[in-house]
Structure 1
Amino acid sequence: MQVTFLGTSSGVPTRGRNVSAVALRLPQRSELWLFDCGEGTQHQFLRSDLRVSQLRRIFVTHMHGDHVFGLPGLLASLGLAGTCTGIDLYGPDPLRDYLEGVLRTSSTRISYPLRTHRVRSAAESGALLLDDDDLTVRCTPLTHRVPAYAYRVDQKPRAGRFDVERAKALGIPPGPIYAELKAGRDISLEDGRIINGSSLCGPDRPGASVVYCTDTVFCEAAVELARGADLLIHESTFSHAEAELAYQRQHSTSTMAAQTALEAGVKQLVLTHLSPRYMPGNPMTPDDLVAEAQSIFPNTLVAKDFLSIDITPSEPATA
C-alpha cells in the first residue's frame, strides 16, 4: 500500500498546502481509496501521478467544509469522464443528504453507481465497516465539535514465501501447479504423491496497516484504533503552546498526536492538517511542530502536499 497526501492544511488552503485529502493506492488491484475530499482535491489529483479513474472508495471523517467541499466537483467530473464503474462513499449520517442536495440543486446527474454507507453504527459498536477481499476497514468516533470518525485499513496476512528450490528438489515440475502450491492447496502428482502446499511455504507474512485520524482532540478511542499500526496519520492543527486553544476547538496539538502514537505503539507518525499560522516565515513553522512531536515519538515526520509513503509491514522472524 502507498499513501499520497493531496492536502495537508487545516481550515483553508495556503499557497503550499491544499485542504484535507489523502489517497491510498492499492497497486496489486489498480485501485485508489480516498480519505476526505477538501475543496480542490480533483485539481490535486491532476498535479499528482495518481489516476483518478482508479478511484473506488471515499471515506469522509466529518462534515466540515475543508473535508467535504471537494466531493461534488470530483463526483461530477468522474461522471463526465464516462469511465467510472462506481463509487462507494462512507461517512457521517448527513453525508448522503448533503450530496443529494448539492447534486440536485446544481442539476448534476451522476451516471455511475454511487453507494453511500453510514459509518456511525460500525464506529460505535466496533464492528468491521468493510471486509473487502484482502483488506478490512474499521472506524471509531473521535472527539470533535461535530460527529467525526477515524479509519483504520488493515491488509490481511499474506501467504508465506514459496520455496521454489525445495519444490524442485521434490521433483515437482514448474508450471501452473506452483500457483496451487503457493496458495497452500494440496496437489496430486502423476506418481501418486500428494503434496501439501502449506509445507512448501514459509509463515504467513503480516499485512500493512494505516490509520487516518482527524479532526479530534486527544482521545483514548484513537489510541485503541491505532494500536500497533504501521502508519498513523494524525492531525496536528496546533503547537504545544496553544493547547488551550486546541481544547477549545477540539483539535490536536503536535504533542497530542505524538502521545497517541506512543501509547498506541505505532511504527511511524505523520503529522497533517496544519494550521496556516505555521507557514514558513512565521514564528512557528512545520519544522517546529515536528520537533515537538519527536521529543515524545522520535519516528515522526510532517506531511506536505504530494508526499508519498510506502507502507511496509515487518516480516516475521526466520528461524
Structure 2
Amino acid sequence: MSEMLKKFDSQEDEKLLQATEKFHAECALKFPNRQCLTTVIDISGKTVFVTRYLKPLNPPQELLDAYPNDPQATAELVARYVSLIPFLPDAVSFAGICDLWSTSDQFLDLLAGDEEEHAVLLCNYFLSLGKKAWLMMGNAIPEGPTAYVLTREQSHYLIWNPCSGHFYGQFDTFCPLKSVGCLIGPDNPEELVYQRTDKAAAAELQDRIEKILKEKVMDWRPRHLTRWNRYCTSTLRHFLPLLESSRGEEAEEDHRAELLRQLGDYRFSGFPLHMPYSELKPLIEAVYSTGVHNIDVPNVEFALAVYIHPYPRNVLSVWIYVASLIRNR
C-alpha cells in the first residue's frame, strides 16, 4: 500500500486493496502523467473504492416532469441543477486535510462541494435517467486537475462540465477538458428522498436580498441622490423568471427589444447576473463589480430586481438585474 493510504483505515477487502495498489503502480509506470484513481478517502477518514460513489440516483421529480418528452432537455436541466449547488474546494470545507470525497447525499446535505462531488452527483443522475455515464478524471483549462462526466448518446459522446452545466461534443475544440486520465464506472443502485424547498422562505429571501442590494447601491453613492425607477424595476421582476425557464438563452434579446420599446423616453443600460446562492457576500460583490453605482450623470435613475427560483434540497438559482436609465432630451 502507498504511504498515504497506510495512514487511513479501511473496511475494504485487503486482497482487493492490494490488487488495486498493484494496478495503480502498473498504470503509473506505463502512463506516468495520467491520473489513475482507484481508491479515495471518505469524510470519515476511511479508504474506499471510488466505484462505490457511483450508483443510479433519482433526480428531483420536478426536473423530470419539466420536459417529459424531451430527454436531452431533461438532461440539460438536471446538469443545471447540479451546477447551482455552490462550489467549495476541499481546502476550505476540510481545511488541513487531504482530498476527501463526500457521497451524493452528504453533498446535498452540505450543499457545497468541489468538482468531484458535482461530477459524482451528475453522473449518478444520468445513470438514473438510463444513460451510459462515466466519471471522467482529467485536466482542464483553467481548472487544472478536475472531474467531468462522459455520456454515450445514440451516435456520439457528450462531455459535461458539472460545475457550469455546459456540455460539449467529443470532438469540440472549445471543450475545456484537455486530457483524460481515466474513466470510472458505476456500482450499486440507490434512491434519494428529496425535501421540497420552502417557496415562501425563498420569496422572503428574494425580497430581503433586493432590499439589501438597493441599500448597498445607495451607500456606494454617498454624494449623489439615488432615484429608483419603479416601472422599470417591476418590468425586470416579471422578466427574470423567463430567464430562469430558458436558462438564460434566447429570451434576453427579445426582452431587451421589448424593454427598450416600453422605455422609449429613456436610454437603458443593464444586464442580468446569475449565480447559485450560498451567502449574501458574493451577490453584493457581483453587483458592485458592475460599476453601475459610479454613474453620476444628472437625472440618472436606477432599477434593480431579484428573482430566486427554488429547487429541491434548498438549491437556489439567483438572478439579479441591475440597470441605469437616462431620460432622452
TM exceeding 0.5: no
Q: TM-score, normalised to structure 2's length?
A: 0.25
